[in-house]
Amino acid sequence: GVVTREAVVETARLSDPALADWIAAHVSFPNAMVDRITPRTTRADVAELRRALGVEDAWPVVCEPFTQWVIEDDFPAGRPPWEEVGVQMVDDVVPYELMKLRLLNAGHQALGHFARLLGYEYVHDAAADPDVRELLRRYMQEEARPTLRPVPGIDLDDYIDTLLDRFSNPAIADTVARLCQDASDRIPKWLVPVIV
């Protein structure tokens, strides 16, 4: 939301400063956060959809059952009743985003690199390893959690337990290689802030 607002207002300012001022005063750009593990679609996913449901889809989206969508409730002209379909409408999305980044995303980095060194191919296999699971739980509880603000409506102990279960879901078949991909971008964004 913040980035989009800046881009739209400044682009408008290049051609019409009055329009830019109007947008800044009358248009909202609510921040949002979505949390759902969605690995890359494989040929096996395409074949399974065809076999199970008779549906031809060249790029089905495979995802976990868990979903969380949080949107700042800043709509001056009204909005659809998204809360009726499970969207959390909040005043400030930042605590939810930090929770996701520092627990899920940074947790993926912790799991991924150790899992790679241990020879695991799939996240669910690594997450089932008692030593890796203990590493993740301790990272989340002892390192990441103390850096978080209170997250309204979220029990962080339950969220951590749910994350460990999500990482252990074999139906997702998420790969350790995917978690390790782009680590030079991911570690500074997600893990270093916890360390700092």
pLDDT digits (tens, 9 = 90+) for 99-127: 999 999 999 999 999 999 999 999 999 99
Q: What is the pLDDT of residues 7-47, one digit of tens each?
A: 999 999 999 999 999 999 999 999 999 999 888 888 999 99
Sign of torsion over alpha carbons 102, 108, 113, 117: positive
- What is the rounded average pLDDT for all residues in the chain? 94
* Res. 77: pLDDT tops 90: no
Q: Which value, to the nearest 10 degrees, does the dihedral of the CA atoms of residues 126, 127, 131, 133 take?
A: 160
| pTM of structure | 0.86
Q: Taking Cα atoms as reference points, which of 3, 77, 32, 75 lies closest to residue 11?
A: 3
> For 147-167, what is each residue's pLDDT tens digit?
999 999 999 999 999 999 999
How far the first Cα of the chain sits from its last, in Å, is 26
**Secondary structure of residue 89 in the 3-state scheme:** strand
Sort strands 32-35 and 68-72 into parallel, antiparallel or unpaired: antiparallel
Residue 88 confidence (pLDDT)? 96
